[in-house]
Amino acid sequence: MTKRIKFSLVYRDMWQSSGKYVPRLDQLLKIAPYIIDMGCFSRIETNGGAFEQVNLLYGENPNHVVKEWTKPFNEAGIQTHMLERALNGIRMFPVPKDVRKLMYKVKKSQGVDIARSFCGLNDHRNLELSIKYAKEAGMISQAALSITYSPVHTVDYYMDIVDKCIEYGADEICLKDMAGIGRPAFLGNLVRRIKSSYPDTIVQYHGHSGPGFSVASMLEVARAGADYLDVAMEPLSWGMVHPDIITIQQMLKDDGFDVPDVDMDAYMKARSVSQEFIDDWLGLFINQRNRYTSSLLIQSGLPGGMMGSMMADLKGIQVGLNSFLESKGDKQLNEDDLLVMLFNEVERIWPMLGYPPLVTPYSQYVKNIALMNVMCKVQGKEQFSMIDDNSWDMIAGRAGKLPGELSGEIVALMKNQNKSFYTGVPQDNYPDVLEKYREEMKQNGWNFGDNDEELFEFAMHERQYRDYKSGIAKQRFDQEIDRVRSESNNIVGEVKVPDGCFVVKSPYSGKVFYNLDYFVSHESIQEGSSVVKGHRVCYIKSGTTYLEVVSDRDGIVRKLCCNSGDIVGKGDTLIIIE
């Protein structure tokens, strides 16, 4: 019988892997009908992870957002799923047991069908309560394996975790290939083992497209018996995000699988609406590097969604390091120099730290240690001299058992710092707190919401919830939007646009090229060149297409704001003309 493959649209992760923010509720409700009309999705990832925390950051109540956002999919018979981080819940640090338990009750009542639970260290002890609490709340429990590639992450290693999760009562298994570095043949073998041992257990594959393996991986896991594949759609597919539904559907159809058709009219409408969100304000916070794949991610193993934060970190230290190098008369470092140094350092220290899967939050911890080591190396200081408390907790075992062994150098550092190793159950470190928050809410006269959903939100995201309730969050968000728009409109780098000048902005995202036949003499446009209204001044290469950019008035080029080959975003200033 022909194997049926179903698709899940990871709309939440599409945005989280691209930039800082996610769509507002009014935007989500606008896109929902088109997603439904596409007719090809059996599931959609609606919430969880950082999604709900971001709602608070710009002044929206995430409980209201989740209920309204899941409703149209519930009514259409499309299952909804959330992402949660086991011990860390839907935040970046550990969550007390009573808050974790309440989360599932709240999310089920809000219309979320499936809890995808992963532990960044693949410690099954952290997943046990996630599975238990999800099932008690009436949710489908999907235990996720954090996929990575190392000598210790073998098929047998992952099967030991699968066996435990099934024993705890997990309904489904997800292969969460968060960095997209799982090798296709390996993933296929893992799915075969799961299906051989548990033939009735649904297997779902989630793979980012950053390093370029994901399409081959999806074909391999489908052939091995996977039931669901996570996909994205334009304008946020590919790059550091996920493969596009159209490519995967056509590939599997050609290979003989039974796959649903894609309504292309609805696809194009959904594509257009998502682009509207980007053009409105979300694009202000999308790093354009995330639009491109990079084989450099294969060796470092870092998830593509971290590229934006990594580049911000590198820019933050570049000025300081170059000032230091200049004072010594040494050659300064450009951004690519630092990026390669960081990737190499991650590759070097990862085994020393016990091969933690590089997924949130442990990818950040490893990256932070590597970044500090790069700084120390350039400045001639001792390595591992700057390690933050969260990273020490990971090393010490307070977040869970590391997959591999720590190096002797790291163990010696622990002893020198008078730090002790922890071998108990991580959850035992975090006592219950709900009653404390309940009392404060009573004193403040705050509503607990349906099924204590507001109590849950306060306990899960205390600082952000306080800012939301006071109105400071919305005020800060509005100020940030105004600032970023102002910088985009009036400042190029650190140079303000002079009076009497106007700017040519990029109408598209892509790579800018000036070396085109703008003049009869086929010269490239340059500072001092004359421009004519309606004439082409450069190209933007978007995908494989070269799109023209024209000037809307006559003038003289005062400044070229980027070099040929630079990546630019829609709305970025290209040229200042006088």
The predicted-structure confidence for 354-374, as pLDDT tens digits, reads as follows: 999 988 788 888 988 998 898
Pairing relation of β-strands 530-531 and 555-560? antiparallel
Q: Which residue has the tokens 């869970």?
A: 400
Query: Which residues of the chain form CATH 3.20.20.70?
Result: 6-291
pLDDT at residue 463, rounded to an integer: 92
* Type and span of the H or E element at 537: strand 536-542
DSSP code at position 283: G
Phi–psi pair at 359, nearest 5 degrees: -135, 160
Identify the weakest region by mean pLDDT among 233-242, 420-429, 473-482, 544-553. 544-553
Q: How many CA atoms lie within 13 A of 548 on its CB side?
A: 10
CB 537 within 8 Å of CB 518: yes
Question: Over 60: is that where the pLDDT of 120 sits?
Answer: yes
- Quote the CA–CA distance of 86 and 84 in Å, as a whole number: 6
Angstrom distance (rounded) from CA 321 to CA 371: 12
- In the CATH scheme, what is the code of domain 6-291? 3.20.20.70
CA triplet 54, 317, 57: central angle to 5 degrees? Answer: 10
Asked if 147 contacts 178 with a C-beta cutoff of 8 angstroms, the reply is yes
Cα 53–chain centre separation: 14
Q: Is the pLDDT of residue 239 over 70?
A: yes
Q: What sign does the CA torsion over 68, 71, 72, 73 have?
A: positive
pLDDT tens digit sequence for 468-504: 999 999 999 988 888 777 766 544 444 567 777 888 8
Asked if the model's pLDDT at residue 141 lies above 90, the reply is yes
Strands (E), 234-313: none
pLDDT at 492: 44
Cα gap 177→184, rounded to integer Å: 11
Q: Residues of CATH 2.40.50.100 domain(s) within the chain?
A: 494-577
Helix axes 245-254, 214-224, angle to 10 degrees: 50
| Mean pLDDT across the chain | 89
Residue among 524, 517, 523, 526 nearest 559 (CA): 526
Cβ distance 557 to 531 under 8 Å? yes
Residue 559 DSSP code: E
Q: Assess contact for 477 and 554: CB atoms under 8 A.
A: no
pTM, 2 dp: 0.82
pLDDT band at 140 (very low <50, low <70, confident <90, very high): very high
CA distance 492 to 158: 49
Q: How far apart are CA 406 and CA 323, in angstroms?
A: 35
pLDDT at 17 over 70: yes
Tokens at residue 316, please? Answer: 């933050």
Host H or E run for residue 577: strand 573-577
Rounded Cα distance, 82 and 237, in Å = 19
Question: Beta strands of 149-252 (E only): which ranges?
Answer: 172-177, 202-207, 228-231
Distance CA 326, CA 92 (A): 38
Rounded Cα gap, residues 575 and 559, in angstroms: 6
Instruction: Based on DSSP, count helices (H) and strands (E) in the chain, helices before strands.
Output: 21, 18
* CATH class in words for 494-577: mainly beta
Q: Which of 219-223, 234-238, 365-369 shows the lowest mean pLDDT across its residues?
A: 365-369
